[in-house]
Chains A and B, each alone.
Chain A
Amino acid sequence: MDVMPKWAEVILVPLISLILAAILSALVILAIGEDPVAAVNLMVTGALGSTYGWGYTLYYATNFMFTGLAVAVAFHAGLFNIGGEGQAMLGGLGVALICLFIPWPHWSIALIAAVMASAVFGAAWAALPAYLQAKRGSHIVITTIMFNFIAAAVLNYMLVNVLRPPRSMDPSTARFPEAVHLPSLHDMLTPLGISFSKSAPANISLVIAIVACVLVWLLIWRTPLGLEIRSFGKSGRAARYAGIGSVRITMIAMLISGALAGAMAINNVMGEAERLVLNAVEGAGFIGIAVALMGRSHPFGVFLAAILFGFLYQGGAELALWTDIPRELIVVIQALVILFTGALDNMVRMPLERLFLAARKTGA
C-alpha cells in the first residue's frame, strides 16, 4: 500500500524540493550582492516570456529528453548507464557522416536516415560495455564512463585528421548542405499562423523527442519486453528464475538506451549547429541522469524534468548576458536544483510520508 496519495508523490515532493532549492539559490544570490527577485524575474522572462526564450528552453529540453530517456530505460533494467555523453558524441558522428557524404533530396528523408544513423552509432557505442556487463560482469558504471573518454578521443581524431575542411582552424566538420537543414519551430508554426522567433534553435527534433517519450512509455509498460526489463531491474534472480535471460535483457536495454542517447544528435548537430563540433554534447549526457532521477524514470516525468532543466539553462544564459552574476554561480544554482530534486529526495519525502500517515491515523 502506498503511504502517500499519487498526487503528493508526483507533484508535492518535486514542488517542495524545487522551492527549497529556490530559497537556497536566493540566499546565494543575496550573498553576492544581487537582487534575487530581479534575477528570478529575468530568468523567467528570459526563458519563458517570449517565443525566443521558449525556443531556447525547448531546444535544451529536447537534448535532455533524449538523454533522460536513455538513462531511464537503463534504470528500469537496473543498469546505470552514465555513458550517455559518449553515446551522444558517436551519434553526432553518425549524423555528420550521413549528412555530409550522401546528397539528400529533401530534409525529411535525411532526418529519417539521421535518426537511424545516430541511433545505430549510439547503440554500437553502448554494445561493448553492455556485453562486458552481461558476459563478464564488468561493472557498467566503470565501462560506460571509460567509453566516454574513448568517444572523445575518437571524435577528436575524426575531426582533427579526417573531417576538418582544409585550412580551417576549428576542429569541426564543414557545414551540412542546405538540403538537410531541419525546419525550426519558426518554419513549422508560421504556416499555422503562429509567429515564433526566427533565431531560436528549437526544431522538429522536439516532436521526435516527444514521440520517443510515448514509445518508451509503451515499451516499458505495455509490452512483454517492458515487463521483462522491469522484472529484471527489480530482481535479477527472480527474473532469471522466471526464465528471463539476463544477457539478453542487459544487451537489449543498453542498446535501446544507447540508441536514445545517440538520437540526441539530430537536435544539437543536425538541428542547431548544422555541423559537428568537438564539444557538441557538452554535458547533456550527464544532465540526463539528473533528468531521469527527477522524472522517476517515467517518460512523462522525464519530459517535465527536461523542460525544467531547459528553463534553467536558458534562464541561466540570460542571467549571464544581462547581470554581473558570474557563470560559476549560475552553475551553483543549477546544481542546487539537481541536489534537492535528485539526491536529497528522501529529505522531503520522509517527513511528508510521516505527515500523511499521521493524517490517515487521525482520520481513521
Chain B
Amino acid sequence: MTLMQKFLGAAASLAMMAGAAAAEPALIFDLGGKFDKSFNEAAFTGAKRWADETGGKFLEIELQSEAQREQALRRFAESGANPVITTGFAFADPVNNVAGDYPDTKFVNIDGWLPEVPANVQLIGFQEHQGSYLVGMMAAMASKSGTVGFIGGMDIPLIRHFGCGFAQGVKAVNPDATVIANMTGTTPTAWNDPVKGSELTKAQIAQGADVVYAAAGGTGVGVLQTAADEGILSIGVDSNQNYLHSGKVLTSMLKRVDVAVYDSMKAGAGMETGGFTILGLAEEGVGYALDEHNAPLVSDEMKSKVDAAREAIISGDIEVVAYYANDSCPVLDF
C-alpha cells in the first residue's frame, strides 16, 4: 500500500512538473544525436540562440529508439509544449499520425514530406540541391586535376539529392570533369563512421580527386581530416565546418536548420501551419560559407561566378534538377 502511495505521489509530481512546462517549445532530435557536428547540432544551435535571446526554456530529447518517436511527440504535446519541433524526415509519418489527437499543439518537421499536411503541422524543407550546385561550381573551379569527389553518408534519396546537385554544379563549370561518388554504407552507422570516410577519401584521391564534398554527418569529420592530411581541398556540409581545418576546407554547404528552428520557436504557439515551407537560395535557407578560414582559397573570380549563378537560380534562369523529380540524376549514376 505504501509503495503504491509512493508511485502515485511520484506520478502526481511528474504531472505537476509537466504542468509547469506549459507553452514551452519542445525540440526532438533524431537518432543521430544532438552533437553530430552537422544536422541535429544545427537545430540545437538555433534553439539555443532563441533561449539566449528570449531567456526562455525549451524541452528536448535525444531519441534512442524508433518506438520513442510517437511516445516523445505525445508526451510533449500532453505536457503542453508548443510548438513541438522535430528534426529529420523519419518524423513526418509519426507527426502525421499524432497531430490529429492534439489539435491545439503546433508540430514542425524539418526535412519531411507528406502527401497531405494536417492543419496543425508545418513541414520545412530545404533546396539542398541548389546549395550543392554552388559548392559544386566552386569545386570544379578549384580542381586542377578535373576530378572531384562526393562522399555521402547512408545511401538514401536525400543524400543522392545532395550529390546530384553537386555534380550538376561541377559539370556547369567544366563539362569534361569527372565526379566520383561513393556512399559510406547502407546502415545508420554510415552517419557516424569517420574511419570509413577517411578510407573513401584516400580511394578517391588515388583516382585523381583533388576536391571532395562530404554529405555524411559525423562521417564527414573523417573526410575533412584526411583531405587536410593529404593536402587536397574538402567541402563541409549543413553547419559551417570551415573552421575544422582552417585554410584546407574550400567551403561548406550551409543548410540553415538553425534558422528554421529559431524562427519556429520565435513564432511560438501562434505560428502558421498547414503547409510546406521551402527554404532555398532566395530565403537564404541554403548557401555556401565564406569566412576568414577559407577566404584565401576563394578567388574573386570564383566568388563572382558563384554569386552570379546564385542570382540566376533565384531568378529561374538556371534550373537545378532535383533528384526527387524522377528519382534519378541527369549527370551522375549512383
Chain A: residues with CB nearer than 8 A to chain B? 41-42, 44-46, 48-50, 56, 59-60, 149, 152-153, 156-157, 160, 164, 166-172, 175, 199, 201, 268, 272-273, 275, 277-280, 282, 313, 316-317, 320-322, 326-327, 330-331
Contacts and interface: CB of A to CB of B under 8 A. Distances in A.
A59 B6 CA distance: 25
B64 A330 contact: yes
15 contacts: A49-B11, A149-B187, A152-B186, A160-B156, A169-B89, A201-B67, A201-B70, A277-B66, A277-B90, A279-B188, A317-B64, A317-B71, A320-B64, A322-B14, A327-B33
B318 interface: no
Interface in B147-167: 154-158
Contact of A45 (B11, B64, B187): B11
Contacts of B188: 278-279
Contacts of B157: 160, 164, 169, 171
A327 B62 contact: yes
A228 to B, nearest CB: 37
Closest 6 CB pairs of A and B: A156-B186, A169-B89, A45-B10, A152-B187, A49-B7, A153-B186
Given A199-B70, A322-B14, A275 B111 contact: no
A44 B31 CA distance: 24
A215 to B, nearest CB: 26
B10 A42 contact: yes
A149 B112 CA distance: 27
B11 A50 contact: yes
B136 to A, nearest CB: 21
B266 to A, nearest CB: 24
Given A170-B93, A277-B90, A327-B33, 8 more contacts: A152-B186, A156-B187, A168-B113, A170-B90, A201-B70, A273-B67, A275-B93, A322-B14
B113 A169 contact: yes
A156 B74 CA distance: 29
Contact of A49 (B10, B31, B111): B10
Interface in B123-175: 154-158
Contact of A282 (B61, B65, B111): B65
Contacts of A50: 11
A277 B92 CA distance: 13
Nearest to B327: A166
Given A167-B324, A170-B92, A156 B155 contact: yes
A96 to B, nearest CB: 14
A169 B67 contact: no
B332 interface: no
Nearest to B29: A327
A163 to B, nearest CB: 13
Contacts of A60: 67
Given A42-B14, A149-B187, A322-B17, A317 B68 contact: yes
B17 to A, nearest CB: 7
Nearest to A317: B68
Contact of A273 (B6, B66, B154): B66
Nearest to B156: A171
Given A45-B10, A56-B67, A169 B187 contact: no
B75 interface: yes
B72 interface: yes
B7 A44 contact: yes
Which of A41, A48, A59: most chain B Cβ within 10 A? A41
A330 to B, nearest CB: 7
A278 B31 CA distance: 12
Contacts of A149: 187
B7 A45 contact: yes
A24 B304 CA distance: 61
Contacts of B92: 169-170
Nearest to B69: A273
A72 B126 CA distance: 48
A78 to B, nearest CB: 30
Interface in B299-314: none
Nearest to A198: B101
A272 B62 CA distance: 20
Contacts of A44: 7, 10
Nearest to A175: B93
A167 B89 CA distance: 12
A1 B68 CA distance: 48
A42 B10 CA distance: 7
Contacts of A275: 93
A321 to B, nearest CB: 5
A321 B75 contact: yes
A60 B65 CA distance: 10
A350 to B, nearest CB: 33
Contacts of A277: 66, 90
Given A41-B10, A164-B157, A199-B70, A170 B89 contact: yes
B90 A280 contact: no
A199 B102 CA distance: 13
Given A282-B65, A316-B64, A321-B61, A172 B14 contact: no
Given A160-B156, A272-B67, A320 B10 contact: no
A46 to B, nearest CB: 8
A27 B62 CA distance: 23
Contacts of B66: 268, 272-273, 277, 279-280, 282
A330 B154 CA distance: 26
Contact of B65 (A160, A167, A313): A313
Contacts of A326: 62
A48 B66 CA distance: 20
Given A169-B113, A278-B188, A320 B89 contact: no
A44 B188 CA distance: 31
A107 to B, nearest CB: 18
Interface in B72-99: 72, 74-75, 89-90, 92-93
B113 A167 contact: yes
A172 B33 CA distance: 21
B238 to A, nearest CB: 16
Contacts of B65: 282, 313, 317
Nearest to B62: A327
Nearest to A330: B64
B71 A56 contact: yes
Which of A42, A149, A157, A169: most chain B Cβ within 10 A? A169
A321 B69 CA distance: 12
